[in-house]
C-alpha cells in the first residue's frame, strides 16, 4: 500500500509562551472565565464599606443601571445621623416605598413605562418595567421615630438620626506626640 499522505514542513518556535502572573499557561477559556467571574462580582458580589462597623452590613453594588439592576445607593455617617441616598431617575415619589420593620429599613421602587404610537402604515407598542428592593439592617442607636425620607430631582434621601445616647458614646482620643 502506497503512502498517499502529504507531508508538510513543521516549524517549531523556540521562544517560550508568555505565562500570566499566576505562572500558568494562558488559555482563551481562562480569559472568558475570569471575565465572567468579574461580572458576577460586579452584579452580585459583596462590597463592604467602613460603615459595617456601625451595623450597616449589606451588599451595595455601585451600578447606576435601573430596570434589571440596582440603583446607585450611597450611605454616609455624619455626626448626628446616617444618610442613605438612592439615585432613582425616572421615578415619582408615588413609585417609591420606604418601610421600617423587624430592624430593617427597606426601600422599594417600581418603574412602569408604556409607549404606544399608531400611524398610517405601522403600529408601535413598547413596555418597560423594572423594580428593585434594597434592605438595610439598622445599627444600634437610631431614633426610629425620627427617620425622614425626601425625594427631589430623582434622588431619594433617607435620614436616620442618631439617638442622644449614641452621639454621647463617641469620645475623641487626644493624639500625643511620641
Domains and CATH numbers, the chain: 28-168 (2.60.40.790)
Model confidence, pTM: 0.55
**pLDDT at residue 25, as a whole number:** 57
In the block, cell 445607593 appears at: 73
- The burial of 98, by beta-carbon neighbours within 10 Å (0-12 exposed, 13-18 middle, 19 or more buried), is given as middle
Distance of alpha carbon 159 from the chain centroid: 20
Where do runs of H (alpha helix) occur along 90-163? none
Give me the half-sphere count of Cα atoms (radius 13 Å) on the Cβ side of residue 143: 14
pLDDT tens track, the chain, 178 positions: 555 655 656 555 565 555 555 555 556 777 777 777 777 766 655 444 444 444 554 444 443 335 456 788 899 988 889 999 999 888 888 999 999 988 889 999 988 888 888 988 888 888 877 888 888 888 888 998 999 999 999 999 999 999 888 777 777 789 999 7
Question: What is the Cα–Cα distance from 11 to 96, expressed in whole angstroms?
Answer: 67
Report which of 87, 101, 95 is spatially closest to residue 113, judged by C-alpha positions: 95
Q: Are 81 and 147 in contact (CB under 8 A)?
A: no
Amino acid at each position: 500500500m502506497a503512502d498517499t499522505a502529504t507531508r508538510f514542513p513543521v516549524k517549531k518556535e523556540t521562544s517560550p509562551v508568555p505565562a500570566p502572573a499566576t505562572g500558568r499557561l494562558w488559555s482563551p477559556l481562562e480569559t472568558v472565565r475570569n471575565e465572567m467571574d468579574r461580572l458576577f462580582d460586579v452584579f452580585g458580589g459583596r462590597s463592604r464599606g467602613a460603615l459595617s462597623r456601625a451595623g450597616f452590613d449589606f451588599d451595595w453594588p455601585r451600578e447606576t443601571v435601573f430596570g434589571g439592576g440596582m440603583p446607585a445607593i450611597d450611605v454616609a455617617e455624619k455626626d448626628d445621623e446616617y444618610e442613605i441616598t438612592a439615585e432613582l431617575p425616572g421615578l415619582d415619589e408615588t413609585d417609591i416605598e420606604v418601610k421600617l420593620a423587624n430592624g430593617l429599613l427597606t426601600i422599594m421602587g417600581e418603574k412602569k413605562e408604556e409607549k404606544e404610537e399608531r400611524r398610517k402604515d405601522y403600529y408601535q407598542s413598547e413596555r418597560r418595567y423594572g423594580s428593585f428592593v434594597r434592605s438595610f439592617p439598622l445599627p444600634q442607636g437610631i431614633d426610629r421615630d425620627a427617620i425622614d425620607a425626601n425625594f427631589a430631582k430623582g434622588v431619594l434621601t433617607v435620614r436616620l438620626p442618631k439617638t442622644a445616647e449614641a452621639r454621647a458614646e463617641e469620645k475623641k482620643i487626644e493624639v500625643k506626640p511620641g
